[in-house]
Amino acid sequence: MRSELESGPTSTNTYVRRAVLELQCYTWAKLPFSTCGLNGKKCFLVTFPAVDLMPRTLEGQITMEKTPSYFVTKEAPARISSMSKGTKLIVVVRDPVTRAISDYTQTLSKKPDIPTFESLTFKNRTTGLIDTSWSAIQIGIYAKHLENWLLYFPIGQILFVSGERLISDPAGELGRVQDFLGLKRIITDKHFYFNKTKGFPCLKKAEGSSKPHCLGKTKGRTHPDIDQEVVQRLRDFYRPFNMKFYQMTGQDFGWD
Ligand SMILES: Nc1ncnc2c1ncn2[C@@H]1O[C@H](COP(=O)(O)OS(=O)(=O)O)[C@@H](OP(=O)(O)O)[C@H]1O
C-alpha cells in the first residue's frame, strides 16, 4: 500500500484530491495513529477493520489520510513507520504566533468563557515566563516535533507546505505538493481566484460541479486583538525554534 498522510488545513486535502482526480483517492480522516494503543498496521486495522475490505491501493492510485494532530503526537511516527516506511508526509505550517492565536480563536468560538489569550500565554506574566504546556503554544514549536519524526522518516519524505503561501500563491504551493506526490501538475493558477471578502483563494469550480468552491464558514475567523507586548514576547520565544526549523527543513518560512 502506498499512502500519504497530511497534517494541516483540511482544504489542502481538498485541493490535493482535485489534483488526483484522475486517480482513485480514499481519504480516512480519523485518528488511527494517535488514539489507539497498538502499533503500526495492527493499530490501523483495529481502528479501521473496514480497511481489510477495501481494495488495495493499486498502481496509479493514492491513499490519503489526514489528521492534523499526528505532527504533534509522540507515538505517531513509530506507528506510521511500522505500517509503511515509504509513506509520504505533508505538513502545513504557519507562523506559530498566528497559529496560537488562531487555535485560541477556534476554542473561544466553542467555549466563550475561557480566560484571555494573554493570561493563558504566561506561567508568570511579571517574569514573562511562557506556559509551554498550553497546547496552543506547544504545537508551534515545530522543530521539536520534527525531531521526533526524523527518528523514523528521512527529511526528503516530508513536505512542508507554507500556510501563508497557500493563501498568497496557492497554485505555487500546490505545485510543490503535486511534484512531491509524483503527480502531473494539473492544478495551476487558472483554477483559483482570490475572494477579497473571505481573504482566501477559492477554486473556480468545485469537484463535479460548475460552481466555485471557497473555504467553509469556520475558516478565516476574525482573530481577537492581542496585546502587542504579548505578541512580541511570543515572537521572541519562537525565534530560536523557528530558526532551527528553517535549518532542519532547508526552507525559510519568513515568520520574523
Ligand atoms: N487553504 C488554506 N490556506 C491557508 N490557510 C488555511 C487554508 N485552509 C484553512 N486554513 C486556515 O487554517 C486554520 C485551521 O484550518 P482548519 O480548520 O482547516 O484546520 S484543521 O484541519 O481543523 O486543523 C484556519 O485558520 P484561521 O483563519 O486563523 O481560523 C484556516 O483559515
Supply the ipTM of this predicted assembly: 0.92
Are the C-beta atoms of residues 134 and 121 closer than 8 Å to each other?
Answer: yes
Give residue 61's pLDDT. 81
Mutate which of 6, 7, 11, 194 for ligand 1? The one with the most ligand atoms within 8 Å of its CB, which is 11
Q: Is 94 annotated as a binding residue?
A: yes
- Whether residue 197 is predicted with pLDDT greater than 90 in this model: the reply is no
Q: Across residues 49-67, what is the average pLDDT?
A: 70
Interval between CA 217 and ligand 1 midpoint (Å): 11
Atom 19 of ligand 1, residue of closest alpha carbon:
9
Atom 27 of ligand 1, residue of closest alpha carbon:
220
Write phi, then psi, for 151 (nearest 5 degrees): -70, -20
Residue 125: which of 136, 117, 113 has the closest Cα? 117
- Whether residue 68 is predicted with pLDDT greater than 50 in this model: the reply is yes
User: Cell digits for 28?
Assistant: 480516512
Interval between CA 219 and ligand 1 midpoint (Å): 5
Name the DSSP letter for residue 116. Answer: P
Residue 60: which of 18, 13, 21 has the closest Cα? 21
Q: Across residues 63-75, what is the average pLDDT?
A: 88
Atom of ligand 1 minimally distant from the CA of 102: 28
Q: Across residues 3-18, what is the average pLDDT?
A: 58
In the chain, % of residues over pLDDT 90: 61
Give residue 93's pLDDT. 98
Interval between CA 198 and ligand 1 midpoint (Å): 12
Distance CA 213, CA 235 (A): 34
Distance CA 238, CA 129 (A): 13
The set of protein residues with a Cβ atom below 6 angstroms from ligand 1 is 9-12, 68, 102, 105, 163, 166-167, 215, 219-221
- Whether residue 64 is predicted with pLDDT greater than 70 in this model: the reply is yes
Question: 256: exposed, middle or buried (C-beta count within 10 Å: 0-12, 13-18, 19+)?
Answer: exposed
Q: Is 222 annotated as a binding residue?
A: yes
Q: Is 145 annotated as a binding residue?
A: no
Give residue 180's pLDDT. 97
CA-atom Rg of the chain in angstroms: 19
Name the 3-class secondary structure at 22: coil
Q: Is 119 left (phi over 0), alpha (psi -120 to 50) or beta?
A: alpha
Give residue 211's pLDDT. 87
192-195 vs 200-203, strand pairing mode: antiparallel
Q: How many CB atoms lie within 10 A of CB 37?
A: 8
Give residue 29's pLDDT. 43
| Least confidently predicted of 21-30, 158-167, 247-256 | 21-30
